[in-house]
Amino acid sequence: MGIPLTKIALSYCLASSFDFFVLNVIPGKPSPPINITFATTCDHLTVAWNEPESDGGLPLTHYKIELRDEIELLDEVFVGVQTMRFTFTSKEGVNPRTRYTVAVQAFNKLNDGTKGERDVMSAYCEYFASN
């Protein structure tokens, strides 16, 4: 994890026989999680991701995963940083042949990260079609 150099506070001090600078990096937002992928069935949707390229200068604390259909937010869950995969089921609203938007967002102690979002279509299952 690199430290983003988007915000820098610089102090200059003149001491008796030498000069020195104090460089303080102000923590920023984590970047979006990368490589968001899906595995779907008619009633399950598993999302997986890799950690963001930048943690914003502070260790990540957790992730938030949101599941939306075309109308509303169906569910959101918070998971620890060791988790890189989560499965939504029919209990959370996963249905066959439905388009969803899934967002994964990383957090550090000070900031909400930028969301990584992708659309996915759940699978078709003949069993569900005949019921």
CATH number for 34: 2.60.40.10
| Assigned domain for 6 exists | no
| Assigned domain for 23 exists | no
- For the stretch 92-107, pLDDT in tens is 999 999 999 999 999 9
Which 8-state DSSP code applies to residue 127? H
* CB of 71 closer than 8 Å to CB of 81: no
Which residues are registered as beta bridge partners of 130? none
| Closest-CA residue to 90 (of 123, 47, 124, 44) | 44
Region 70-87 average pLDDT = 96
CA distance 82 to 31: 17
Which 8-state DSSP code applies to residue 92? G
* CB of 43 closer than 8 Å to CB of 128: yes
* CB of 45 closer than 8 Å to CB of 123: no
- For the stretch 106-129, pLDDT in tens is 999 999 999 999 999 999 887 655
DSSP 53-91: SB-TTS-EEEEEEEEE-SSSEEEEEEEETT--EEEEEGG
Q: How many domains does the chain have?
A: 1
pTM of the model: 0.78
| Assigned domain for 62 exists | yes
| Assigned domain for 92 exists | yes
